[in-house]
Amino acid sequence: GQSLEQPSEVTAVEGAIVQINCTYQTSGFYGLSWYQQHDGGAPTFLSYNGLDGLEETGRFSSFLSRSDSYGYLLLQELQMKDSASYFCAVRDTGSARQLTFGSGTQLTVLP
Amino acid sequence: GAGVSQSPSNKVTEKGKDVELRCDPISGHTALYWYRQSLGQGLEFLIYFQGNSAPDKSGLPSDRFSAERTGGSVSTLTIQRTQQEDSAVYLCASSPGTGDGYTFGSGTRLTVV
């Protein structure tokens, strides 16, 4: 099976940088994804890492180390609108290849 | 449509009643997933459809839960004899194919009273 661990809450101030870590245990690995979910909203795709290293998309970057079974999401120049829950996810090894999600990290950005 | 559409957005039902939740995926997306999200929790996989293949029902929590996907498009999740523990947000997602990123709908918030 798959399991993921990420912090339940993170708080930071506007303009700061925050890193949300994710460690995982899987019987097979098909990449690490990150999703953002605002209160009452749908999860939306942020990034995907299939190989080791850093992927950058604007203010957001995501990192993966397969040897450490570890990844993180880095948010720079934080804005109030970044307050949301962030989920890391890995693909299941079954035929459905469905995503297994972590429990989510609630990010609160303070003024 | 442009996105994944779910209906109803909210549903309040009495314990023991049956409910049907609908998902209309993005046109052309062959993969469709149902997840359940309890308050403050992560997303729990329920069931997966890929094209005309038999669905993967490995995540369904009990035989009270079932789902169909007609014509490879619209899907209906049915919960029979609802229980209070079924209260959650039910999310549907679609993707172009297996292994691709998901587009989620806004979910159906089910409350069993």
Q: For residue range A34-59, list pLDDT tens digits in order.
A: 999 999 899 999 999 999 999 998 99
B105 contacts A104? CB cut-off 8 A: no
Query: Is the model's pLDDT at A22 over the cut of 80?
Result: yes
Query: Is the model's pLDDT at A5 over the cut of 90?
Result: yes
Q: Which residue of A has its CA nearest to B41?
A: A103
**Facing A33 at nearest CB: one of B42, B101, B106:** B101
A96 contacts B50? CB cut-off 8 A: yes
Residues whose CB is less than 8 angstroms from the CB of residue A37 and which lie 6 or more positions away in sequence, other chains included: A43, A44, A84, A85, A86, A87, A104
Query: Is the model's pLDDT at A10 over the cut of 80?
Result: yes
* DSSP secondary structure string for all residues of chain B: --S-EEE-SEEEE-TT--EEEEEE--TT--EEEEEEE-TT--EEEEEEEETTSPPB-TT--STTEEEEEGGGS-EEEEE-S--GGG-EEEEEEEESSTTSPPEE---EEEEE-
Query: Is the model's pLDDT at B1 over the cut of 60?
Result: no
pLDDT per residue over B91-112, tens digit each?
999 998 767 789 999 999 999 9
Residues A47, A57 contacting (CB under 8 angstroms): yes
Of B39, B37, B112, B45, nearest to B79 by C-alpha is: B112
What is the DSSP-derived secondary structure letter of residue A20?
Answer: E
Mean pLDDT, residues B20-49 taken together: 93
Give the pairing of strands A18-25 and A3-5. Answer: antiparallel
Residues of chain B that touch chain A, judged by Cβ-Cβ distance less than 8 Å: 4, 33, 35, 40-43, 45, 48, 50, 56, 58-59, 91, 93, 98-99, 101-107
